[in-house]
Amino acid sequence: MSVLEVLSGALLIAGALAVLTGGVGMLRFPDFYTRIHAAGITDSAGAGLILLGLLLRVDTWNTAVRLLIILLFLALTSPTATHILAHAARRDGVPMWRKGDPRR
Amino acid sequence: MSLLDHDSAGAASAQQQPRRKNTMRFLRTAPLPVVFWLLLSGHYEPLLLALGALSVAVVCWLTRRAGLDHRSVTFAFALRLPRYFLWLSGSVLVSTFAVARKVWSPRPDLRPVVEPIPTPHLQELSQVVYANSITLTPGTLSLDVEANHIEVHSLERSGVDELRKGLMLRRVRQTEAQR
């Protein structure tokens, strides 16, 4: 096994862990806004690490270019979508969880 | 009332403009999707090229309809962007670690706060970059983008304090296109 393969494997595992953490956070956190933070781990760190891991084991340059483009577009679209969701929730008056409140 | 909630007045005024200007705008919007489509597709049969042309036309029409066609990213800005992305990835990883610890801790200690973060004299594009960077970093979330501040929801006070120190804002300003 080459150094690149080991490095790529490590990145993929770290990415998978981040995705899992996001999922667990979605279940454990108390309300809509805090759950969005947990989902944020999945789509920033999780997706980013997995794509970087894949980038280290490409065969041809055009696969690499496509992976980079996917990375760029995820970095642009996922925070925008998250912001729109949070903005809509706030405009509709979804109540914010404070310490001591029951879970929703 | 946020900037997001305004109806785009630009879309209405664009319709009254002379045809020549519209063509110019189309020529300025079109190249990017064309290059993008060719890069991703890699097929050059007539049918696929026609479909590509059609989708570029739809993209241009949507851009115009959304009133976005007069915004463009300068070349210098695009060159400064990778460095900013590198820095941002670093801080995303650091804050991911902090939030992941909260997720896995037996009794997560969450004290969510919502506070305005001032963004004085920031260009529109930089404001988008800043708000998106805040959202991309786990632990902080931009709720509302206003003319000179951004409403931020954070899992705990330290997230807001970190933003108040303005390290990220300074980076955004450095990346911002100087005109």
State how far the Cα of B83 lies from the Cα of B38, in Å rounded to an integer: 27
State how far the Cα of B12 lies from the Cα of A14, in Å rounded to an integer: 48
State how far the Cα of A43 lies from the Cα of A19, in Å rounded to an integer: 8
Domain membership of residue A104 (yes or no) is no
Q: What pLDDT is recorded for position B177?
A: 59
Per-residue pLDDT tens for A79-99? 999 999 999 998 998 888 887
Number of folded domains in chain A?
1
- Residue B118 pairs in a beta bridge with B149
Each as own residue / partner, the long-range contacts of residues B69-73 (CB below 8 Å, 24 or more positions apart, any chain) are B69/B14, B69/B25, B69/B28, B69/B29, B70/B10, B70/B25, B71/B124, B71/B125, B72/B28, B73/B125, B73/B177
In chain A, positions 40-99, which contact chain B (CB-CB < 8 Å)? 40-41, 44-45, 48, 62, 65-66, 69, 75-76, 78-80, 82-84, 86-87, 90-91, 96-99
Q: Which of B85, B112, B142 shows the shortest C-beta gap to A97?
A: B112
Q: pLDDT band at B4, cuts 50/70/90? A: low
Q: What pLDDT is recorded for position A22?
A: 93
Which residues form the domain of A49?
3-91
Domain membership of residue A67 (yes or no) is yes
**What number is the average pLDDT over the span A36-65?**
90
Min mean pLDDT across A4-18, B58-72, B81-95 is at B58-72
* pLDDT of B13 strictly over 50: no
Residue indicated by tokens 């990017």:
B32
Domain membership of residue A98 (yes or no) is no
* pLDDT of A15 strictly over 70: yes
Q: What pLDDT is recorded for position A23?
A: 93
**Across the interface, do B110 and A29 touch by the CB < 8 Å criterion?**
yes
Q: pLDDT band at B178, cuts 50/70/90? A: low
**Cα A77 from chain centre:** 12
Instruction: Say yes or no: A104 contacts chain B, CB-CB below 8 A.
Output: no
Instruction: Say yes or no: A9 contacts chain B, CB-CB below 8 A.
Output: no
A&B contacts, CB < 8 Å: 106
Domain membership of residue A80 (yes or no) is yes
Domain membership of residue A36 (yes or no) is yes
Q: What pLDDT is recorded for position A17?
A: 94
More reliable by pLDDT, B27 or B84:
B84
Phi, psi of B154 (to 5 degrees): -130, 150
Q: What pLDDT is recorded for position B36?
A: 83
Per-residue pLDDT tens for B85-134? 899 999 999 999 989 998 998 887 888 888 898 888 888 888 888 999 99
